[in-house]
């Protein structure tokens, strides 16, 4: 007869921490909790390939690290932190440190291991590049607005000049016509006087 034992433990929610790594480096995962000798500390992981317990400090549990971490993991005693060395892309994922007091989960620390890409979205290069592009776009918008305003002013000035020229032409025509009609009246008066 096979008996399976399942344990469901509920831990308080916590905001995940993000830890960036480069291949073949060393990463220190910390348990953000006040741990005492009587506390049970369990380290879990969930990566793309596996999801299991890394270390459990319960007295009757044997510490046997997963095969893929063999020789690459060290833990403090009690395990406030885990040190993973010679990190690879397969190690990226979620790691939890859960602290239990009398079988009640009192604290959990979640750390997400993400490979650091020197040109990726979390890199300094990307931040600088994004800032420069934002400034360049803002500069282009300012130039477009300035050119548009200058063109509009030039068009308005040109329109005003054409209107003024047209008014002058009309005024000079009116004056010429009035002058011609005045001359015509003057000739008429002269011819009447002669009669």
SS3 labels along 19-52: EEECCCCCEEEECCCCCCCCCEEEEEEEECCCEE
Regarding whether 104 and 41 lie in a shared domain, the answer is yes
Regarding whether 93 and 24 lie in a shared domain, the answer is yes
Regarding whether 111 and 126 lie in a shared domain, the answer is no
**Nearest to 92, CA basis, from 166, 152, 144, 18:** 18
Regarding whether 159 and 122 lie in a shared domain, the answer is yes
Give the span between the Cα atoms of 112 and 94, in whole angstroms. Answer: 4
Give the span between the Cα atoms of 33 and 68, in whole angstroms. Answer: 27
CATH number at residue 22: 2.60.40.10
**Domain assignment of residue 55, yes or no:** yes
Regarding whether 109 and 152 lie in a shared domain, the answer is no
**Domain range holding 133?**
117-184
Regarding whether 111 and 31 lie in a shared domain, the answer is yes
**Domain assignment of residue 53, yes or no:** yes
Regarding whether 97 and 60 lie in a shared domain, the answer is yes
User: Does the predicted model carry a pTM greater than 0.85?
Assistant: no
Number of domains in the chain: 2
Per residue in 127-165, pLDDT (tens digit) is 788 888 999 999 999 999 998 888 888 888 888 888 888
Per residue in 41-95, pLDDT (tens digit) is 888 888 765 568 888 888 776 667 778 888 888 887 777 888 889 988 888 888 9
Regarding whether 139 and 103 lie in a shared domain, the answer is no
């Amino acid at each position: 007869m096979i008996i399976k034992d399942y344990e469901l433990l509920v831990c308080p929610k916590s905001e995940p921490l993000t830890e960036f790594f480069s291949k073949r480096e060393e990463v220190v995962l910390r348990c953000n909790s006040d741990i005492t000798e009587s506390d049970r500390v369990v380290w879990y992981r969930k990566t793309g390939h596996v999801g299991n317990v890394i270390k459990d400090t319960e007295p009757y549990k044997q510490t046997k690290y997963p095969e893929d971490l063999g020789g690459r993991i060290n833990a403090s005693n009690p395990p406030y932190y885990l040190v993973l060395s010679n990190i690879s892309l397969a190690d990226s994922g979620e790691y939890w440190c859960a602290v239990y007091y009398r079988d009640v989960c009192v604290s959990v620390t979640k750390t997400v291991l993400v490979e650091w890409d020197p040109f990726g979205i979390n890199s300094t290069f990307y931040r600088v590049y994004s800032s420069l592009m934002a400034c360049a776009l803002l500069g282009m918008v300012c130039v477009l607005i300035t050119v548009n305003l200058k063109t509009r002013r030039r068009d308005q000035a040109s329109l005003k000049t054409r209107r003024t020229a047209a008014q002058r032409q009309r005024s000079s025509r009116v004056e010429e016509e009035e002058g011609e009609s005045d001359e015509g009246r003057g000739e008429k008066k002269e011819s009447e006087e002669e009669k």
